[in-house]
Amino acid sequence: MIRRAFTMKLKPGAMAEYKRHHDEIWAELVAEVRRSGIATITTFEADPVLFLFSEITDEGAWNRLWTSDVHRRWGEVMEPLMHFKDGVVDAGELREIFRLDTGLGKKGGKKKGARKAAKAAKKVAKAVKKAVKEAARKLPAKPAKKAPAKKKAAAPKAPAKKPAKKAGKGK
């Protein structure tokens, strides 16, 4: 994203009305801002000076917005509140001279990459599981094999009988 900043100036006593209009911004204007290639707009004030910071997709984004029909109508509402020049708000563009990004404010910080990787791994695992199920469904059906019959255990044999002793002679 390209960062752009401007200063603008309100007419005396216009701050409350300017803020009210922005608190109730038109949905069609928001859509036009987006279509023009403007991702974010943040405005700060030190009445009567406004400081606007924006992130845009390309150098022509603001010109596309300022020349759109919906912004022309918005300008008609803003003109009594702000200084205009040639039908467009009189904005002084600021040059960026310093920027420091420690990464601290980024959502998730360092953990974001790990979460992204874990999410991707889960997605891959789910896709693999689905593919395996689909492949299994396409395999020809095989008759189920019968389990081998269990062999019956042989009945235990009775112990062999010892032959009876013959009675002795003459005792």
Give the chain's length.
Answer: 171
Do 27 and 115 form a contact (C-beta atoms < 8 A)? no
Distance CA(94)–CA(4), nearest Å, equals 7
Asked if the bond preceding 80 is cis, omega within 30° of 0, the reply is no
Task: Specify whether 21 is catalytic.
Answer: no
- Identify the active-site residue in 21, 22, 71, 83: 22
Distance CA(60)–CA(75), nearest Å, equals 19
Q: Which residues are catalytic?
A: 22
